[in-house]
Structure 1
């Protein structure tokens, strides 16, 4: 399989809803294998179709929890339900526990409040349905990748002053316009 270039914020495919997957064929298998190779090389814990320039509703994920349980798979045409958010007025964002990054905003991390629990329903590469109830970091990964399928980046969800900081970084690095990508294994991800 192959490593694909990762699109950077500003590429139109990242900012519009992705289309459902309708063909479960060899080209889909190749895309999924390439996405795993790309995510692993980056390295990342998740990667959505739009991040490799493909506007389809699928993402791959790979993460191990503190107990050593490994989670690795593909979610095609997912649906996601979230537990309610804790009101932001209750406690401050935790820079360490609530910061996340994105391969399409390479090298940057900012805090973002996410739901602690989710229910993911999707189909696998063979079109077989599955369901995962996830909490903590796996829930965060699923929410992050699912957002990509709706044309959202985590930068679209962060609040001031972090949104302003992301905007400054994007402007400084020439992002926010079509045509910017980076190649895992070849490029330095910070642009």
Structure 2
């Protein structure tokens, strides 16, 4: 019988930080992170150089997971227009979930005032990758202006995530889907 090894300190720190930063924000204290991850303070500094490095690593890891979510949402259809509109249907499901706390990238940008904080590089990298994904879909659709259309769709996505975190039961993704349909024409 093979037993699965338990995660090491680095992985426990990443998992605990990802959960805590999403549920309580990037201002969570180091002591709470260490307690949740059940690791010594030394592990934080050895693996991430400190809390700032951990925040950036969490955002990098979350970005990969979130972009995989977007890819899966798009995979719900084969035709490019249906793929893009279906994305807003999936966003509606996401923001309607009671565990939804908003956009982690927007929250990190607001919480971390220092413009040189390494987290800002990660939030921008995530947004750039998401826009590239949208451009790819719009090119497949034959959209007349894929870059501009991607910018507009990205604005609708970000707005959906912000509104979804602040307005229970309002379904902002449904309104965003209607506007997305106009952009796709």
| TM bracket (short chain) | under 0.3
Which of the pair has the greater relative contact order for Cα pairs under 8 Å at 6+ separation?
1
Relative to the length of structure 1, the TM-score reads: 0.26
Instruction: Please identify the structure whose Cα radius of gyration is greater.
Output: 2
TM-score (norm 2): 0.27
Q: Which has the higher helix share?
A: 2
Higher strand share: 1
